Amino acid sequence: MRTVPTVQRRGPALDIAVVGGGMVGAAAALAFARAGFATALLEARPPAAWHAQDELDLRVVGLAPSSIALLEELDVWTSIRNARACPYTHMHVWDAQSGAAIDFDAGDEGRDLLGYIVENNLVQWTLWQALEAAGVQRLCPATVKDFEVRGDRVVLELADGESLSVRLLVAADGAGSPLRQRAGIGTHGHDYGQRAIVAHVATERAHAGTAWQRFLPTGPLALLPLADGRSSLVWSMPEAEARRVQALDEPAFLAELGIASDFRLGRIVASTPRAAFPLKLQLADAYQAERLVLLGDAAHAVHPLAGQGVNLGLRDVAELRDTLLAARNEGRDIAATHVLRRYARRRRSADTLDAYGFDALARIYAWQAMPLVAARGLGVRLLDRLSPLKRRIAAHAAGL
């Protein structure tokens, strides 16, 4: 990091700058502002406007109760739910090789629902609309070229030649996080050598408010319920196979998808254009440096089979907000090393446990030797009958 000019953008002295305006970054900026911290959000590109008449965003998230609770605290959940969100009350997971299945039902957990399937763009756009009223200073387009810690402040040099001085810098700038790299924080993990194909599909039978997931030898396939009656497809497979499936014409694709989904929702009758993205496990070696913390994908990227990536990021937000509030209430510097370590210790431990749990699940379901397949099937059937353990798994996924 090099010395930066001391010219500062006009405006009140800032406590926190959040870099990255995706769902997690925007939620963080709003949470900090609502907690009384003077906050700026820096983003290179504004989100696309969300309109009810537009086609559904291909990127969707399964919001767990913990995420919904945070969005309710931020006073944006009602708008999101009323715009276009699909509750799901049941999850059915089954193994293509052993036939073993496990079911999760909200009623069995004493809850009304397991979560909501919502478009990423809707969540991000709603959060952005709430930022200005909450007093967040939105700087967009804005890119951080460099930063330097000076005593009790961090000075950010922006690409337009101006600078910004804050007490705490929050990196929510994605899995490739330039801020993480500039802070000298490394990562570890591995590439799965897979891609997830995503699309929205219409099916012969209704999804019945159920999230369906089938584990195939090549990777998991999920059909998630959408508000318009269709299902969101997330189909993970090796890269070469993904390229082949991507190249299929629609009739051939629909036929293969029907077979792969075991026709649980009948024939697949229509699909939107498909997209695909690579899969990897990546964990930051540290979640904090001097006056800097990582949030969301900048800290952790996980396999999508459990649909928990954004939920983990929103749990980061809630934990960091609560940690900063406690420090302020105790009269401490909110960006003091021991304060940030408290956040980092709690979230890095939880995120690492979840990330490697998802990784282990992906590896277990990749077993193809028949004795291992039989053992896996026996374990799944046993787990489905152990109600207390199954409830604990469901409660953990919900963030409760």
Q: Is residue 8 a part of any domain in this protein?
A: no
pLDDT band per the 50, 70, 90 thresholds, residue 200: very high
Residue among 133, 129, 161, 125 nearest 146 (CA): 161
pLDDT band per the 50, 70, 90 thresholds, residue 376: confident
Residue 79's pLDDT is: 97
Which has the higher per-residue pLDDT, 272 or 385? 272
Query: Is the pLDDT score of 52 beyond 50?
Result: yes
Q: Is residue 220 a part of any domain in this protein?
A: yes
pLDDT band per the 50, 70, 90 thresholds, residue 24: very high
Domain identity same for 292 and 356? yes
pLDDT band per the 50, 70, 90 thresholds, residue 375: confident
Domain identity same for 118 and 85? yes
Residue 337's pLDDT is: 96
Residue 331's pLDDT is: 96
Which has the higher per-residue pLDDT, 35 or 101? 35
Domain identity same for 38 and 99? no
Q: Is residue 166 a part of any domain in this protein?
A: yes
Helix pair 370-385, 387-398: axis angle to 10 deg: 90
Which has the higher per-residue pLDDT, 190 or 356? 190
Q: Is residue 116 a part of any domain in this protein?
A: yes
Q: Is residue 7 a part of any domain in this protein?
A: no
Residue 257's pLDDT is: 98
Domain identity same for 68 and 183? no
How large is the average pLDDT for residues 16-43?
Answer: 98
Q: Work out whether strand 210-216 and strand 137-139 pair parallel, antiparallel, or are unpaired.
A: unpaired
Query: Is the pLDDT score of 360 beyond 90?
Result: no
The share of the chain scoring above pLDDT 70, in percent, equals 93
Domain identity same for 157 and 66? no
Query: Is the pLDDT score of 356 beyond 90?
Result: no
The end-to-end CA distance of the chain, in Å, is: 41
User: Using CA atoms, how far apart are residues 104 and 114, in angstroms rounded to an integer?
Assistant: 8
- Look up the CATH number of the domain holding residue 115: 3.30.9.10
Q: Residue 395: which residues within 8 A CB-CB, separation 6 or more?
A: 109
- Domain of 332 in residue numbering reads as 14-47+128-188+282-364
Query: Is the pLDDT score of 369 beyond 90?
Result: no
- The overall average pLDDT reported for the chain is 91
Q: Which two tokens mark 171?
A: 């990196």
Which has the higher per-residue pLDDT, 3 or 205? 205
Domain identity same for 160 and 292? yes
Domain identity same for 215 and 137? no
Residue 33 CB-density burial (10 A; 0-12 exposed, 13-18 middle, 19+ buried) = buried
Query: What is the pTM for the complete model shown?
Result: 0.91
Mean pLDDT check: name the lowest of 27-31, 83-87, 357-361.
Answer: 357-361
Domain identity same for 332 and 257? no
Query: Is the pLDDT score of 120 beyond 90?
Result: yes
Q: Residue 67: which residues within 8 A CB-CB, separation 6 or more?
A: 115, 310, 311, 314, 315, 399
Domain identity same for 204 and 259? yes
How many domains does the structure of the chain reveal?
2
Q: Which two tokens mark 357?
A: 């749990």
How large is the average pLDDT for residues 220-227?
Answer: 96
Residue among 50, 66, 62 nearest 126 (CA): 50
Q: CA triplet 365, 370, 375: central angle to 5 degrees?
A: 60
CB 137 within 8 A of CB 39: yes
Domain identity same for 199 and 225? yes
Query: Is the pLDDT score of 387 beyond 80?
Result: no
Which has the higher per-residue pLDDT, 303 or 215? 215
